[in-house]
Amino acid sequence: MPFPLSRPRRNRQTDWVRRMVRETMPTTDDLVWAMIVHDGDDAREPVSSMPGVERLNVREAAKAAKRAQKLGIPAIAIFPHINPAKKDEQGSEALNPSGLIPQCIKAMKDAAPDVGVICDVALDPFTTHGHDGLIDEAGYVLNDATTKVLVRQALMQAEAGADVLAPSDMMDGRVGAIRDTLEVADMHNVLICSYAAKYASAFYGPYRDAIGSSGALKGDKKTYQMDPGNGFEALREVRLDIEEGADMVMVKPGLAYLDIVHRVSSEFNVPTLAFQVSGEYAMIRAAGMNGWIDEDRAILETLMCFKRAGAAGLVTYFAERMAMALG
Ligand code: PBG
> Which residues, listed in sequence order, are joined to residue 34 by a DSSP beta bridge?
77
- What average pLDDT does range 44-61 have in this prediction? 97
Q: Is 190 in the pocket of ligand 1 (CB under 6 A)?
A: no
Lowest mean pLDDT among 77-81, 206-210, 308-312: 206-210
Decide: 223 and 275 in contact? Cβ < 8 Å. Answer: no
pLDDT at residue 269, as a whole number: 86
- Tell how far the Cα of 132 is from the centroid of ligand 1, in angstroms: 9
- Tell how far the Cα of 171 is from the centroid of ligand 1, in angstroms: 14
C-alpha distances out from residue 143 to 169, 236, 244, 263, Å: 10, 18, 16, 27
Q: Is 320 in the pocket of ligand 1 (CB under 6 A)?
A: no
Please tell me which residue in 87, 109, 198, 307 is annotated as part of the active site.
Answer: 198
Q: Is 280 in the pocket of ligand 1 (CB under 6 A)?
A: no
Residue nearest to atom 11 of ligand 1 (CA): 204
Neighbours of 148 (CB within 10 A): 13
pLDDT at residue 157, as a whole number: 98
Collapse the DSSP code of 110 into the 3-class scheme (helix H, G, I; strand E, B; otherwise coil) and give the result. helix
Lowest mean pLDDT among 67-81, 160-174, 209-223, 307-321: 209-223
pLDDT at residue 60, as a whole number: 98
Decide: 204 and 210 in contact? Cβ < 8 Å. Answer: no
Q: Dihedral through CA 250, CA 253, CA 255, CA 259, nearest 10? A: -60
Does the annotation mark 198 as catalytic?
A: yes
Residue-range domain boundaries for the chain: 23-326
> Which residues, listed in sequence order, are joined to residue 121 by a DSSP beta bridge?
167
Considering only residues 75 and 209, tell me which one the structure prediction assigns the higher pLDDT.
75
Please tell me which residue in 87, 109, 252, 307 is annotated as part of the active site.
Answer: 252
Residue nearest to atom 6 of ligand 1 (CA): 168
- What average pLDDT does range 232-256 have in this prediction? 98
- Tell how far the Cα of 128 is from the centroid of ligand 1, in angstroms: 16
What is the per-residue pLDDT across 1-42, written as a single tens digit (0 to 9) for each?
788 999 999 999 999 999 999 999 999 999 999 999 999 999
CB under 8 Å, gap of 24 or more: what pairs does 284-291 form?
Answer: 284/318, 285/50, 285/51, 285/52, 286/51, 289/51
Collapse the DSSP code of 50 into the 3-class scheme (helix H, G, I; strand E, B; otherwise coil) and give the result. coil
To 10 degrees, what angle do helices 174-184 and 232-243 make? 10
Which is the closest atom of ligand 1 to the Cα of 198? 9
Backbone angles phi, psi at 43, to 5 degrees: -60, -45
Neighbours of 216 (CB within 10 A): 15
Q: Is 278 in the pocket of ligand 1 (CB under 6 A)?
A: yes
- What average pLDDT does range 55-68 have in this prediction? 98
Neighbours of 229 (CB within 10 A): 7
Whether the per-residue pLDDT at 321 is higher than 90: the answer is yes
Q: Is 207 in the pocket of ligand 1 (CB under 6 A)?
A: yes
Which is the closest atom of ligand 1 to the Cα of 225? 9
Tell me whether the omega of the peptide bond preceding residue 253 falls within 30 degrees of 0, making it cis. Answer: yes
pLDDT confidence tier of residue 136, bands split at 50, 70 and 90: very high
Average pLDDT value over all residues in the chain: 97
d(CA 218, CA 47): 22
Residue nearest to atom 10 of ligand 1 (CA): 204
d(CA 255, CA 274): 8
Q: Is 120 in the pocket of ligand 1 (CB under 6 A)?
A: yes
In DSSP notation, 219-268 reads S-STTTSBPTT-SHHHHHHHHHHHHTT-SEEEEES-GGGHHHHHHHHHH-
Residue 194: partners with Cβ closer than 8 Å, 6 or more residues away: 166, 167, 175, 241, 244, 246, 248, 249, 250
What is the per-residue pLDDT across 283-295, written as a single tens digit (0 to 9) for each?
999 999 999 999 9
Provide the b/e sequence for 247-275 (b: ≥16 CB within 10 Å). bbbbbbbbbebbebbbbbbeebebebbbb
d(CA 168, CA 161): 19
Residue from 79, 169, 204, 225 whose mutation best tests the ligand 1 pocket (most atoms within 8 A of CB): 204
Does the annotation mark 252 as catalytic?
A: yes
- Tell how far the Cα of 144 is from the centroid of ligand 1, in angstroms: 21
Collapse the DSSP code of 14 into the 3-class scheme (helix H, G, I; strand E, B; otherwise coil) and give the result. coil
Fold of 23-326: TIM Barrel (3.20.20)
State the pairing for strand pair 191-198/75-81.
unpaired
